[in-house]
Amino acid sequence: MAVKMLLHRAAWTLQQIPLLFLFLLLHLPHCQSGDEDQQTSAPSSAANIRDKAFFTTQENTLARTLQARDSTTVLSLNDATFQDSLVTKSEKSEHAEQTTIPHIKTVIQSTELDDLTILSAHDPKGTRNSKTGVIMKAPYQIRSNKPVLTKSRIKEPASDDQPGNLIPVSPQKLLPAKAEISRADLPQATQPLDEGFNLFFKTNPAEMLDVPITFSKPFPTWVNGTLVRNGLGKFENGPRKFLHAFDGFAKIASWRFTGDGTALFSTKFIRSNFYKDSIRSKTIAPYLLFQSVTPPFSIYEKAQCLMNGIDNMNINVYAFKHPKNKKIEYAVLSDFWILYKISLPKLSTKHRVVPRMKQAQHYIAGVGGLGFLNLLSSAHPLPEPGTDNHLTFLSSVAVMPWADHTMKLIRMKSLKRRRVIAQWPVAKLPYMHSFSVTATKAILLASPFFVNVYCMATKVEPFSCLDWHPEEPTTLYVVDLKSGDLTTITMETVFTMHHVNAYDVSDTQIVMDISTYPNPDFVSHLQLHVLMDPVARNSFDAHAKLKRITIDLTKREAHLAAVDPRPVPGIVSLLDMPAINEAYRSRHYCFVYGLVLKVDNVTLSNIAIVKKDLCHSDGAGGGLGDRMWIQPGIYPVEPWFVANPRAAAEDDGLLFIPVLNGVQKTSTLIVLDARTMTLTNSANLPTIIPYSLHGRFFHGV
């Protein structure tokens, strides 16, 4: 066995020699900044995107009227008493009195006391508003048919120490009925809308274990387990800084609910090799990153990056059950094959895991050289229905130009054990972040966003080496979970990061829902210098669109359609970071929750938590159960649904959402009723949580 292992490792090492030679041969002095003189006909890449002007705010800006009928709940978005208009610049100048474009209907819940407030106000002349700190590029008008707020509905601001009241709400004056509201008439936000947002991307070195936190109300005893979230915690080390948010050092946070109505909070950095080497060297160690660092790595350090590969597991966290002893093992992961095993509830980092597969064409011994290109995988494994297994994919790049790349669907039988269900060659290897699974099939959606091997060998920067080819179609790879049979279908070009859910309609028909973008440009705007600049981050289009793909395997056809077909879809249909009741994973479902950024179409930090009803139409493109929760100065991240164990309905449960309170400069865990989207509970945390990407609730832990 030892001899066989040595032979495998020797073979793998020999494979790296031409790769490193390719790196040394092709690496040019200007590689760090990119080759700006390449032919203009080449496809756009992430490197080119960052040099383009930011998306400008659409000329059609959101005009909002909040007409309050009942301030005791978050009302339905399709309630007839709530109206919004989207008024274009030309309409205001030519026939503003006659023409409006129907938009969504919404209500904003501001605090646990169910106050209502208007989200924001801007100077119609396009100048900076001294109170909100926000520049609006186009004028707008607001029409009102009913009073927005009455003094009787406004409660006095709560004291800062009142539990559960995240931001005191200032009284708003009554707006006259049937009047065009000017900026002077609008209620003003008490704090700049962007205040404190940058704390999401500021290093917090604090670590702690089992710190008691106090909720504003007693917690349901059926909530028994641990919520764990993975994300970013540190954005520089010594003289070097990261350039892209995706590269922040991994840091996890947890909330342990003991079943007696209390909770314990913990947070720690992941002690990866990358993290430990960086701390030891007092700089950012040379490992492969999504983008690079400043000051940049030297040529020698870039070669080290290739040898060290990817090691920063800052995206997600999962639990895997061993098939024999049924022991649960926990791991943090990213879009690559390797994982780091962690322990709960202590959040300690155990060791690195590089799973091996006997059925793989190439022995997987490590991640050095360009070998990391054989380890492209998903940060979102999915449970295989009816089993304790999970599913993922593995993409392998062929470095030699005459060889095909390979894609594989993988069955994860435990943290370390893997089996190939199906594999197939592809001419170009796509980048994929997630995928979908039904009761019988797995569906991989391959957008024309391809890995550029030449670029990888020269720039050593994956961010710059993903090429977008909008002229090429999107390809669906549908794999039968039992037989491994593959069906390939092409469809119109679309890009997605996050799949919502999928289910079988019949043996040959599938429904799959995804959050879509017209292209991957938004990824470039997640660079730290953009996110830390209010003007820059407010200048790009941050909206996804929820769309449904219907797949016919017999006809080999797939049709893409917006869930909300209106020219101006409702806000809830612009969600990303989706969450569902996991009991409805891979089967017919009705509700999806998520985040909508830039709700007012002006300010990125105007973030709503939304609920989309996919089953009960209001006849106009919306859903009868559509809901949203939003509060100025409160910046939420991805929600997670925890079902009531005695639930009789799909949406009977709680949404757990960590939020950043930009006004108070604190982090808070809020809890929403998943049926009504009303705030039911909250607890302030002892430290700020920088931006977290994904997480899960582990029952009974």
Annotated binding-site residues for Fe cation read 380, 433, 498, 694
Closest residue by Cα to residue 664 from 692, 684, 648, 639: 684
Task: Decide if 658 contacts 251 (C-beta within 8 A).
Answer: no
Distance CA 296, CA 294 (A): 5
Peptide bond into 345 cis (omega under 30): yes
Task: Establish how many alpha carbons lie within 13 A of residue 502's alpha carbon, considering only the half-sphere containing its beta carbon.
Answer: 30
Task: Decide if 584 contacts 509 (C-beta within 8 A).
Answer: no
Phi then psi for residue 323, to 5 deg, are -70, -20
Give the DSSP letter of residue 157.
P
Distance CA 451, CA 92 (A): 46
For the chain, the straight-line distance linking the first and the last C-alpha, in angstroms and rounded, comes to: 38
Task: Establish how many alpha carbons lie within 13 A of residue 514's alpha carbon, considering only the half-sphere containing its beta carbon.
Answer: 28
Who contacts 296 (Cβ-Cβ below 8 Å, separation ≥6)? 32
Who contacts 532 (Cβ-Cβ below 8 Å, separation ≥6)? 198, 201
Other Cβ atoms less than 10 A from the Cβ of 157: the count is 17
Task: Decide if 266 contacts 347 (C-beta within 8 A).
Answer: yes
Helix axes 2-26, 299-308, angle to 10 degrees: 150
The annotation places the binding site at 380, 433, 498, 694
Closest residue by Cα to residue 586 from 390, 412, 419: 390
The residue behind tokens 């062929």 is 398
Give the type of residue at 325: N
Distance CA 377, CA 394 (A): 5
User: Residues, the chain, total?
Assistant: 701
Distance CA 408, CA 501 (A): 21
Distance CA 503, CA 485 (A): 18
Task: Decide if 458 contacts 31 (C-beta within 8 A).
Answer: yes
Task: Establish how many alpha carbons lie within 13 A of residue 451's alpha carbon, considering only the half-sphere containing its beta carbon.
Answer: 31
The H or E element containing residue 26 is helix 2-26
Q: Give the sheet arrangement for strand 101-102, strand by strand.
A: 61-64, 84-87, 101-102
